[in-house]
A and B are shown apart, each in its own frame.
Chain A
Amino acid sequence: DAGITQSPRHKVTETGTPVTLRCHQTENHRYMYWYRQDPGHGLRLIHYSYGVKDTDKGEVSDGYSVSRSKTEDFLLTLESATSSQTSVYFCAISSGFGASTDTQYFGPGTRLTVL
């Protein structure tokens, strides 16, 4: 199994509070991703990173920011959480060696509830 951890695994917070989720990898992979999973929507990409300090938006990036100061850590921040951000958040990594062989591996997920 790929070495990916997410913290916290569960969090309950209130509307308007800031929240930061952490993804940590031990594989030294170049690419890291944040997805959210909601019933009826499958998984949707929020942001991704293709290297330290290099990030880009996904299809549902509004209300989220990310940072990557080290290869192994990718942080997802909700500046002011809203109830619509209640979801399960998955981090993924891939080596970036080339699309013909590359595969994304997922972390265990973080269940976030915004009251």
Chain B
Amino acid sequence: AQKVTQAQTEISVVEKEDVTLDCVYETRDTTYYLFWYKQPPSGELVFLIRRNSFDEQNEISGRYSWNFQKSTSSFNFTITASQVVDSAVYFCAPTKAAGNKLTFGGGTRVLVKP
């Protein structure tokens, strides 16, 4: 069975600090895709990034970066120089290829204080 765990339920930081969110995906699949979504207080779900399990390079996009450790199936998502507008719940959601059905983690609430 597949299992996705976001162990951090809530993180509180002061503006301009970096925030790193953890996600562990336990699966026997060798190929999978992992997505990060943001849910601000207004409630909508906003797509942030996707990562393929066979990508070995870590990437940066603006203030977002992500790190994948295949040996532990751990995907870390980092927000650099956090801003108040980054306050939201962040979900990681992995999927196998077929049908793109997402399995969501429980989410991590990030509170960025001014």
Contact = CB atoms under 8 A, between A and B. Distances in A.
- Asked if chains A and B come from one complex, the reply is yes
Interface of A: 31, 33, 35, 40-45, 48, 50, 56, 58, 88, 90, 92, 94, 96, 99-100, 102-106, 108-109
B104 interface: yes
B43 A88 contact: yes
B102 A104 contact: yes
Contacts of B98: 99
Contacts, number: 59
**Is the interface on chain B under 10, 10 to 19, 20 to 34, or 35 or more residues?**
20 to 34
A44 B104 CA distance: 7
Contacts of A33: 101-102
Interface of B: 33, 35, 37, 43-45, 47, 50, 52, 91, 93, 95-107
Contacts of A58: 101
Nearest to B101: A45
5 contacts: A41-B106, A43-B104, A44-B104, A45-B102, A96-B100
Given A31-B99, A33-B101, A45-B102, A103 B50 contact: yes
Contacts of A94: 100
Contacts of B99: 31, 48, 50, 56
Chain A CB within 10 Å, residue with most, of B47, B96, B99: B99
Which 6 A-B pairs have CB atoms at the shortest separation, nearest pair first? A99-B97, A106-B45, A42-B104, A43-B104, A42-B106, A94-B100
B45 A90 contact: yes
Contact of B100 (A104, A106, A108): A104
Contact of B95 (A44, A99, A105): A99
Contacts of B33: 99-100
A52 to B, nearest CB: 16
Contacts of B95: 99
A100 B105 CA distance: 21
Chain B CB within 10 Å, residue with most, of A88, A96, A102: A102
